[in-house]
Structure 1
């Protein structure tokens, strides 16, 4: 188990995870939006229903049935008010925070992609450009070393002293 092998497909995995999370958050947002809409409609229907019903308080006769009916109408009206306030709280609270979370996740994904692209570019520069420069320098130094060996052999063949050859070689190498 090597560190590099474990991270080979990590970028694609992170992008898939981010996409999946964003898709899930969008689904939750749609669900909550529909829930708010349906709760508001239900509250409006309950309030309308309670206002349309005949008020037993104004009736000529008061009985247990009329009291029960008045209680049902009051409870329906209260439920309508509660449903409307809960829908408004859901819309202003969690739904608003969820929209902000989705925007933040999208920004994080964009930032991650930009940073990954910069790192890939820098990695390519280091591994390709700088490596090619180092290879070219190595080849040049190899040629210079071969040329210096040839000069040394020539100097030995001509009988020139070793000191003279070392001086020429050191001066040539210091120019790099």
Structure 2
């Protein structure tokens, strides 16, 4: 594998991890929302139950006994549990669920930003590897043509020089041979 293909595999792995994390966070968010809804409904049901029992029991209680005291204590504790459940549900909604929602938005923004940067880098890489490489190849081809043209001109000039200097060299050779 080359450097580029390793990076491509890494990019895909990072995207899979980000998708998995987002799905998990969305699942946790749904769970928390259902938990809040359930706790609020439970608290409301407990409060309604206490209100009904309280109305009925206050009408029928003409005397104070241990049983009636226990019954009133049970009603009060159920009302207290109802208030606690409602408070916890509201706290869960305004605290962790809100922060979780913001975290999901941040992760989605980070993923979007990551994808944008990756696309920009990939486009730059394509530009460098393809466009600039093609320019360099074209420039190289042009330089080869110029070199071949210059080589031909050099050979022509050399041939002219040999034509001009060769008879003289022959003449010199003949002239020296006579002496």
Q: Could you say which TM-score interval applies, normalised by the shorter chain?
A: 0.7 to 0.9
**Which SS does the other structure have where 1:159 is aligned?**
helix
Greater than 3 Å deviation, 4+ residue runs:
1-6, 54-58
Unaligned runs of 5+ in 2: 163-179
Question: For structure 1, which runs of at least 5 residues remain unmatched after alignment?
Answer: 161-176
Higher RCO, 1 or 2 (CA under 8 Å, sep at least 6)?
2
TM-score, structure 1 normalization = 0.83
Q: Identify the residue that residue 52 of structure 1 maps to in structure 2.
A: 52
1:38-117 paired onto structure 2 within 5 Å: 38-53=38-53, 54-55=56-57, 59-117=61-119
SS in 1 for 2:62: coil
In 2, Cα distance between equivalents of 1:8 and 1:116: 10
State yes or no: 1:30 paired with 2:43: no
> For residues 95-131 of structure 1, what are the alpha-carbon distances to aligned partners after superposition, in whole Å with 9 as ceiling and x for unaligned?
1111111111111111111111111111111111110
Q: TM-score, normalised by structure 2?
A: 0.82
Note the alpha carbon deviations across 1:23-77, whole angstroms, 9 max, x for none: 1111111100000000000001111111111446983322221111111111000
Larger % of helix: which? Answer: 2
Q: Quick check: 1:142 aligned with 2:157?
A: no
Aligned residues: 160
CA distance in structure 2 between the aligned counterparts of 1:65 and 1:2, rounded to whole angstroms: 82
Which position in structure 1 is the counterpart of 2:167?
none
Give the number of the structure whose alpha-carbon radius of gyration is greater.
2
Select between 62-71 and 37-46 the one with higher mean Cα deviation.
62-71
The question of whether the paired residues in 2 share the 8 Å contact of 1:56 and 1:67 is answered with no
Cα 1:44/1:55, change in 2 over 3 Å: same
Rounded Cα–Cα distance in structure 1 between residues aligned with 2:2 and 2:137? 28
| Higher mean displacement: 137-146 or 82-91 | 137-146
> Aligned residue for 1:173?
none
Offset of 1:147 from its aligned partner? 1.6
Q: CA deviation at 1:4?
A: 5.2
What root-mean-square deviation, in Å, do the aligned CA atoms of Structure 1 and Structure 2 show?
2.0
